[in-house]
Amino acid sequence: MKVIYPGSFDPITNGHLDIIERASAKFDEVVVAVLVNTQKKGLFSMDERIEMLEELLYDYSNVKVEKFSGLLVDFAQANEIDAIIRGLRAVSDYENELQLAHLNRFLSKDDNLETLFLTASPKVSFVSSSAIREIAQLGGDITGLVPEKVAKKTYKKYQGR
């Protein structure tokens, strides 16, 4: 089974990595798809996000990193994806994720694109990219929440701002 794990990954956190590792162990192929968001600039550029992901995921032979723009269903169909993987951290994620899952299924050919949810591991269930950006900007400690190199690059972004 070939699955896609879409997200912004701005930046990648240990929460994302936990989902990717677990998906990689259960599915034949995992495509980590970085969404090109034309509305929002983000902290890291697309190239920087892809570079960090590729470096961190180098050892996972069944995981590849791609960028995508446009509708996820179109990208999934063009790449013969069997299912979408999403992470659930708390009930607050559920409402939005439920709507997305229904929409993606509705938009797909023959209502065929399923979304499969992995529940966040308790040790990282409180981590989000937005929290990482905010803590780093305010000079707080993000050690243990993101990989070391990601932490360094995040702090660097806010230096001199």
Under a CB-based contact definition with an 8 Å cutoff, are residues 82 and 20 in contact?
A: no
Q: Is 8 or 108 the residue whose CB approaches ligand ADP more closely?
A: 8
- What are the φ and ψ backbone dihedral angles of 130, each rounded to 5 degrees? -65, -40
Task: Let me know how long the chain is.
Answer: 161
* Residues 67-86: x where in contact with ligand ADP by CB under 6 A, - otherwise, as a string: -------------------x
- Across-strand partners of 84? 4, 115
Half-sphere exposure of 158 (CA within 13 A, CB side): 14
Q: What Å distances lie between residue 119 and 18, 30, 134, 159, CA to CA?
A: 10, 17, 24, 34
Closest approach of ligand ADP to the CB of residue 12, in Å: 8
Near ligand ADP by CB under 6 A: residue from 3, 16, 53, 132: 16
Number of residues that bind ligand ADP (CB under 6 A): 17
Stretch that binds ligand ADP, among 13-21, 45-53, 132-140, 152-160 (CB under 6 A): 13-21
Catalytic residues: 16, 40, 89, 129
Q: Report the site for ligand ADP in 123-152 (rule: CB under 6 A).
A: 124-125, 127-129
Phi/psi for 17 (5° steps) reads -60, -40
Binding site for ligand ADP (CB under 6 A): 7-9, 13, 15-16, 19, 86-87, 89, 93, 120, 124-125, 127-129
